[in-house]
Amino acid sequence: MSYLAKIYLIGAGLASMAFGSALAQEASLSVSIKDHRFSPAEIHAPANTPIVLTVKNLDPTPEEFESKPLRVEKVIAGGAATAIRIRPLGPGKYRFFGDYHEDTAEGFLIVE
């Protein structure tokens, strides 16, 4: 094996390790919408960690997942699910709601 091939393989291995390490540091959370309510209504995540939030709409009608502090606005079709990426956050309580049924569809992301 040539010297350049060895350098390439070492570099690829290091990049793979760094990428795998970054993925391992994501927090995966899930919340469902049923009868225009979030379940669970309160979810927890570690501070300063990227979050992947899966939102499942178990109702037959669409709902818009929205949060001004999280900077998210996403329509989810009835019976569908979507993954929402959220930037690393500092400790706090972040409100989210269903824009089409804000009177009942409300929840909080607690970052600790």
Q: Which domains does the chain have, with CATH numbers?
A: 27-111 (2.60.40.420)
Amino acid at 80: A
- Give me the mean pLDDT over the 100-109 stretch: 96
Report CA torsion sign: 93, 96, 101, 104. Answer: negative
**Residue 3 pLDDT:** 57
- Give me the mean pLDDT over the 3-14 stretch: 54
**pLDDT tens, residue by residue, 70-102:** 999 999 999 999 999 999 999 999 999 999 999
pTM, full prediction:
0.77
Instruction: Kindly list the distances between the CA atom of residue 40 and the CA atoms of 22, 43, 83, 110, in Å, as whole numbers in the listed order.
Output: 27, 7, 16, 12
* Contact assessment for residue 87 and residue 27, using Cβ atoms and an 8 Å cutoff: no
